[in-house]
Amino acid sequence: MSRSVKNLLLLCVFSGIVLGGPFGCKSKAPKGGALAWVTIDSNYQPRDQVEEFIKQDSTVRNMLPVSIINYGNDESVLGRFKGSRFAMPKPAVLRMFYQGLQDWKVVDLKYFNEKKREVLRTILYVQDGEAWKVADSGSLMK
């Protein structure tokens, strides 16, 4: 094989790796389709304190049933979160805003409003001291 053919072949292989690499690698961050929606209604037994908070809040607002995807405190999901107060925050940023920060969770929430339209939101919950509260509402960027 001539030298120019070898160089051309090497260039094609290198180009395939460079251009195809980002498309061939799978992200470690869970997507909405990777986790299943869980429906919270009056009979649902919450798995953690955030789900208990969501159930109580939804009951008070008369919004049951609601469906959720609880991503927990996955930093890669937090890095894709964009809300009205925070955009792609790090846990250190949350600790700066919430001095008593104990824990945080990102949850997709789906429910029907009073006009019977489906609402889909991503909520950032924080445990500030002993109480869970909504830190921000927004969506997950792709």
For strand 101-112 and strand 118-128, is the pairing parallel, antiparallel, or unpaired?
antiparallel
Whole-angstrom distance, CA of residue 105 vs CA of residue 132: 10
DSSP codes, 37-89: -EEE-TT---SSHHHHHHHHHHHHTT--SEEEEEEES-HHHHTTEEESS-BS-
pTM tops 0.75: no
Assess if residue 11 is contained within a domain.
no
Q: Is the pLDDT score of 18 beyond 60?
A: no
Assess if residue 41 is contained within a domain.
yes
Assess if residue 5 is contained within a domain.
no
Assess if residue 73 is contained within a domain.
yes
- Residue pLDDT, tens place only, 45-66: 999 999 999 999 999 998 999 9
Q: How many structural domains are present in the chain?
A: 1
Assess if residue 55 is contained within a domain.
yes
What is the domain extent for residue 88? Answer: 28-140
